[in-house]
Amino acid sequence: MKNGEKYKEGQVLLIDKPLTWTSFQVVNKIRWEIRQRFGFKKIKVGHAGTLDPLATGLLILCTGKFTKKIESFQAQTKEYTGVITVGATTPSYDLESEIDATFPMDHITNELIYNTTARFIGDVLQKPPIFSALKKDGKRLYELARSGETTEIPERKIHIEAFEITRISLPEIEFRVVCSKGTYIRSLAYDFGKALNSGAHLSELRRTKIGDFEVEKALSIEAFIEKLKRTGNEASE
């Protein structure tokens, strides 16, 4: 196979998405680097599941003919770790927007936190955040939100396989979640705050697994580019 042709035949690339980058920016960067390296006029590159700009971690990219596999990857179970900050909410349910309300948290004990997690395990009804990439009437919800429009978002059923509290240092609660496709961890943080009779928002998020793929096997964008330059068609595994 000619140098670089395997990217057109299809590759699965595991990228560790950096903070503040959108998933589309990662795709565009990797596509551009492959095109530049091998002189392709065009090549298909897509990702298998969006990560918010303020999240880091595993992003699966598919190239060439393997872009047909994207839906099967998207359907797989995902694992996340992160931090929920209690006592305050934001419109975006994370740090993309400013705090809009504060709530008491003196009543929150470790026992209450651990007991409350049980309410979120199994099949759960969840309302996606208004600041999301879902579409309504042809427009992304975040576009409506940023323009000040309000819209009603229906709840939908998601499945949470595991919700584990790994550290408590109020107002911060560290966690690990294993969940189905379509789960919004920002919404989980918001709902968790309400269940604690307080408020909460997501202050840190990292995707650690998609199916059997682990972030430990992923490359940073810089490392992938260096490997691409160094080894040509051996740039991915």
State the Cα–Cα distance between residues 169 and 79, nearest whole angstrom. Answer: 22
State the Cα–Cα distance between residues 65 and 6, nearest whole angstrom. Answer: 10
Verify that 62 and 137 share a domain, yes or no.
no
Q: How many CA atoms lie within 13 A of 23 on its CB side?
A: 18
DSSP state, 215?
G
State the Cα–Cα distance between residues 93 and 146, nearest whole angstrom. Answer: 14
CATH code of the domain covering residue 228: 3.30.70
Catalytic residue among 52, 94, 106, 137: 52
State pTM to two decimals: 0.89
Q: Which domain holds residue 113?
A: 78-210
Verify that 48 and 86 share a domain, yes or no.
no
Verify that 223 and 200 share a domain, yes or no.
no
Verify that 197 and 92 share a domain, yes or no.
yes
Q: Residues with Cβ < 8 Å from 34, sequence gap 6 or more?
A: 4, 7, 40, 43, 45, 63, 228
Verify that 117 and 179 share a domain, yes or no.
yes
CATH code of the domain covering residue 141: 3.30.2350.10
pLDDT digits (tens, 9 = 90+) for 177-229: 999 999 999 999 999 999 999 999 999 999 999 999 999 999 999 999 998 88
Query: Average pLDDT, whole number, for the chain?
Result: 90
Shortest CA distance to 192 belongs to which of 228, 210, 227, 168? Answer: 168
- Residue 155, φ and ψ in degrees, nearest 5: -70, 155
On the question of pLDDT at 237 being above 90, the answer is: no
DSSP state, 128?
P
Verify that 204 and 216 share a domain, yes or no.
no
pLDDT digits (tens, 9 = 90+) for 26-60: 999 999 999 999 989 999 999 999 998 999 999 99
Total domain count, the chain: 2
State the Cα–Cα distance between residues 166 and 15, nearest whole angstrom. Answer: 25
Verify that 114 and 165 share a domain, yes or no.
yes
Would residue 52 show up in a list of annotated catalytic residues for this protein? yes
Task: Answer whether 84's CB lies under 8 Å from 204's CB.
Answer: no
On the question of pLDDT at 20 being above 70, the answer is: yes
Task: Answer whether 51's CB lies under 8 Å from 16's CB.
Answer: no
Task: Answer whether 16's CB lies under 8 Å from 218's CB.
Answer: yes
pLDDT at site 120: 97
Verify that 164 and 216 share a domain, yes or no.
no
Q: Evaluate the omega torsion of the peptide bond into residue 171 and state whether it is cis, within 30 degrees of 0.
A: yes
The residue to which tokens 């919004």 are assigned: 184
Verify that 48 and 88 share a domain, yes or no.
no
Sign of torsion, CA 209 215 219 222?
positive
Cα angle for residues 174, 126, 70 (degrees, 5° grid): 85
pLDDT digits (tens, 9 = 90+) for 75-110: 999 999 999 999 999 988 999 889 999 999 999 999
Verify that 205 and 184 share a domain, yes or no.
yes
The confidence band for 235, taking pLDDT boundaries of 50, 70 and 90, is: very low
Verify that 165 and 82 share a domain, yes or no.
yes
Going from the C-alpha of 76 to that of each of 21, 33, 48, 226, the distances in angstroms are 23, 28, 10, 30
The confidence band for 131, taking pLDDT boundaries of 50, 70 and 90, is: low
Token couple for 236:
């991915």
Verify that 164 and 111 share a domain, yes or no.
yes
